[in-house]
């Protein structure tokens, strides 16, 4: 389940990339809301957010972009700081996101102790609240996070920030299998997935794989919009094939 973090201030280009990601085999796409204070983002996504902010890309552009995409296309969710949701208003954020075609939100900095109100707003609106579990999250707390989440659980494969890695923790499979015994939610693994080889290793133990930095890097390296779109389409196709073969 490859994802894109929005880092291109050109809405038409980003829409084209999103369409190609869907046609290449992605089941869902994460669209990042640019934020000036990184939460768990590595240098690649931090830089993409800064480029977007410098070019005037804001929350309303994320909504505008979603609203212009076909309603029957690949589902989209936002990756957004709770500070932005809180400032917008809990109900207003969900209403605007749903009206723009988004199916949920990944909220990496929402503490489970403070999640009840927003979780209820999301449940009432049939809008998924996707929360993160990390390798250092105590197991009792993992269960609490799962109980207040909907849509799927985002399992962070490594401690630290987002980015591509060659090696992943040896206990990752065991940790995911334990969490699976505690919840009926799908579990998707993110952070550190660098390409088809990593995807093939993790596909048998996950319900989905989240790939951000590797996608954003290919966009940033392109000389123009056409090359960026082709780079991403080709990479997502390779990931899809590796997952299917595994």
Buried b (16+ CB within 10 A) or exposed e, 67-82: eebeeeebebbbbbbb
Closest CA to 115 of 101, 99, 137, 132: 132
Please answer whether residues 4 and 236 qualify as being in contact, where contact means their C-beta atoms are separated by less than 8 angstroms: no
Q: Are 30 and 4 in contact (CB under 8 A)?
A: yes
Enzyme catalytic residues: 30, 41
Separation of alpha carbons 80 and 8, rounded Å: 16
Other Cβ atoms closer than 10 A to 149: 26
Distance (Å, whole) CA 165 – CA 183:
28
């Amino acid at each position: 389940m490859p994802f894109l973090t929005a880092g291109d201030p050109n809405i038409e280009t980003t829409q084209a990339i999103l369409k190609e990601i869907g046609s290449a085999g992605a089941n869902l796409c994460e669209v990042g809301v640019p934020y000036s204070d990184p939460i768990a983002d590595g240098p690649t996504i931090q830089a993409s957010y800064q480029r977007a902010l410098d070019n005037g890309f804001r929350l309303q552009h994320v909504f505008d972009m979603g609203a212009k995409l076909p309603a029957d296309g690949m589902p989209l969710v936002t990756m957004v700081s709770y500070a932005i949701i809180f400032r917008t208003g809990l109900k207003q954020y969900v209403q605007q996101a749903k009206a723009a075609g988004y199916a949920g939100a990944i909220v990496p900095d929402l503490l489970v102790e403070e999640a009840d109100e927003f979780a209820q707003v999301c449940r009432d609106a049939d809008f998924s609240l996707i929360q993160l579990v990390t390798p250092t999250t105590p197991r009792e707390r993992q269960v609490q996070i799962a109980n207040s989440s909907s849509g799927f659980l985002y399992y962070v494969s490594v401690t630290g920030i987002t980015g591509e890695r060659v090696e992943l923790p040896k206990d990752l499979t065991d940790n995911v299998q334990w969490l699976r015994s505690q919840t009926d939610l799908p579990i998707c693994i993110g952070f550190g997935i660098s390409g088809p080889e990593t995807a093939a290793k993790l596909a048998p133990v996950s319900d989905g794989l989240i790939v951000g930095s590797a996608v954003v890097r290919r966009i940033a390296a392109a000389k123009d919009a056409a090359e960026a779109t082709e780079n991403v389409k080709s990479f997502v196709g390779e990931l899809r094939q590796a997952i299917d073969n595994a």
